Amino acid sequence: MKPPQIRWGMLGGGPGSLIGIVHRIAAAMGDDYRLVGGVFSADHAKGLEFARDLELDPRRAYPHVDALIAGESALPQEQRMRLVTIATPNYLHYEAAKKLVGAGFHVLCEKPVTVSVAQADELARLVKSRGVVFAVAHTYTGYPMVRQLRAMVAAGMIGAVQKVHVQYYQGWINPILRDPGKRRSVWRLDPKRGGDSSCIGDIGVHCFNLVEYTTGLRVERLLAATDTGTSDNTLDVDGSVLLRLTGNVPGVLCASQIATAEENNLQLAVYGRTGALKWAQEIPQRLEFLQEERPLSVLTAGHAFNAPPARAASKLPPGHPEGFSDAMGNLYRGLGHAINGEPYDSGAFPEIDAGVRGMRFIEAVLQSASTGNHWCTL
């Protein structure tokens, strides 16, 4: 018997928010959630109008997170919001997450979870002490073939990992960087709102997360060089990072937001003793499996012969593309199991530990880059 739908709310993600749409579609995918309210906008009037458009109870369109906590906590348990998605600019994550976790809400937080390692550590402590479920929106882990990759590495199908290559090239910052007017409108390029890093904090951390998620290894040391693109910009918009993983396995992580005209070119290659696995986000339904002395295999999503976590992450038959929202939907599905106390796979969604690791990575990159490109430990 299916458990009751989880009452769910959002911080941010309201009118005009792309990521808000993705979260609502994702939460709808398994019929597991019911949106009941949130703080949809910094402008309360807009938030109210948004709630009206969605035919939500306007009393649950709160002006701020404190009001949300107070309002929801006063409701009978079966009506009460249990999960809150945080989709605000980075600098607001920590305070909101701390309050919500402290009040016993489960949380799905956009990455990076905080703007410092200290905050992330503090949050992780709180999550553990309160016993809530805390997910981090590393959406790419929700793609079926990323889960297939992880399962195949774990099953030893490529042998011990001996080399990792990951790259994430985008070009969207490029035209903004050179236009001061445009630049002011982009919170990611404003250290006050986006944190100390642009490229590494926004996309480099996805690379890092994918490496640890798929290989099961840890990045132990790194050496990084970053670039700000223009002299009047203080945040990194490009970075290359040499990695050493558990057992001294070499890796390289390349990220750029000034890789002109690239769209969302995220690629991962994991090389093992006897084979390799390669995935590219722009055609996410495919996974290349290279083996010595054998032809290339191209696995695709939706097949019965895929590993169980990949199989469970496809809703449609092979050849029917599923995309970014579907990947996010898989995070929500796993999160639903966790919230309902049901068993779930360790790769079902990234938890607070992945958020902490991400912050350590960002901090180490910034430290290496700013201190003469030396090796730093995470």
Amino acid at 35: L
Judge whether 270 and 276 are in contact, CB under 8 Å.
Answer: yes
Quickly list DSSP for 349-370: S-BHHHHHHHHHHHHHHHHHHH
Amino acid at 66: D
Residue ranges in 241-300 that form contacts with a copy of itself under rule CB under 8 A: 242, 250, 252, 254, 256, 258-265, 269, 271-276, 281-285, 289-300
Segment interacting with a copy of itself, rule: CB under 8 A, options 68-76, 126-134, 324-332, 348-356: 324-332
Q: How far apart are CA 257 and CA 199, in angstroms?
A: 6
Q: How far apart are CA 203 and CA 336, in angstroms?
A: 26
Nearer to a copy of itself, 42 or 252 (CB): 252
**Reduced 3-state DSSP string for 95-110:** HHHHHHHHCCCEEEEC
Segment interacting with a copy of itself, rule: CB under 8 A, options 102-110, 114-122, 179-187, 235-243: 235-243
Question: Please, where are the H alpha helices in 54-143?
Answer: 65-73, 93-102, 117-130
Reading the block at residue 84, the tokens are: 């809150």
**79 phi and psi angles, rounded to 5 deg:** -95, -20
Q: Which of 300, 279, 157, 156 is nearest to 210 (CA)?
A: 279
The distance of closest approach from Cβ of residue 82 to a copy of itself in the complex, given in angstroms and rounded to an integer, is 14
> Tokens 């057992």, residue?
247
Q: Are strands 161-169 and 265-272 parallel, antiparallel or unpaired?
A: antiparallel
The distance of closest approach from Cβ of residue 13 to a copy of itself in the complex, given in angstroms and rounded to an integer, is 12
Q: Note whether 54 binds a copy of itself by CB under 8 A.
A: yes
Q: Note whether 354 binds a copy of itself by CB under 8 A.
A: no
Give me the 71-110 binding string for a copy of itself, x by CB under 8 A, dash otherwise. Answer: ----------------------------------------
Nearer to a copy of itself, 29 or 103 (CB): 29
Q: How far apart are CA 126 and CA 293, in angstroms?
A: 51
The distance of closest approach from Cβ of residue 8 to a copy of itself in the complex, given in angstroms and rounded to an integer, is 13
Residue ranges in 195-224 that form contacts with a copy of itself under rule CB under 8 A: 223
Give me the 113-142 binding string for a copy of itself, x by CB under 8 A, dash otherwise. Answer: ------------------------------
Which of 77, 155, 305, 371 is close enough to bind a copy of itself by CB under 8 A?
305
Nearer to a copy of itself, 197 or 281 (CB): 281
The distance of closest approach from Cβ of residue 363 to a copy of itself in the complex, given in angstroms and rounded to an integer, is 20
Give me the 159-198 binding string for a copy of itself, x by CB under 8 A, dash otherwise. Answer: ---xx-x-x-xxxx-xx--x--------------------
Amino acid at 177: L
Q: Note whether 18 binds a copy of itself by CB under 8 A.
A: yes
Nearer to a copy of itself, 189 or 352 (CB): 189
Q: How far apart are CA 363 and CA 274, in angstroms?
A: 34
Residue 359 pairs in a beta bridge with none
Which of 109, 120, 158, 356 is close enough to bind a copy of itself by CB under 8 A?
158
Applying CB under 8 A, the site for a copy of itself has a residue count of 88
The distance of closest approach from Cβ of residue 121 to a copy of itself in the complex, given in angstroms and rounded to an integer, is 29
Neighbours of 265 (CB within 10 A): 15
Q: Note whether 155 binds a copy of itself by CB under 8 A.
A: no
Q: List Cβ<8 Å contacts ≥24 apart for 101-104.
A: 101/126, 101/127, 101/130, 101/132, 101/134, 102/126, 102/130, 103/69, 103/73, 104/130, 104/132
The distance of closest approach from Cβ of residue 100 to a copy of itself in the complex, given in angstroms and rounded to an integer, is 24
Which of 324, 340, 345, 367 is close enough to bind a copy of itself by CB under 8 A?
324
The distance of closest approach from Cβ of residue 281 to a copy of itself in the complex, given in angstroms and rounded to an integer, is 8
Segment interacting with a copy of itself, rule: CB under 8 A, options 20-28, 69-77, 106-114, 348-356: 20-28
Nearer to a copy of itself, 116 or 162 (CB): 162
The distance of closest approach from Cβ of residue 99 to a copy of itself in the complex, given in angstroms and rounded to an integer, is 27
Q: Are strands 219-227 and 238-245 parallel, antiparallel or unpaired?
A: antiparallel
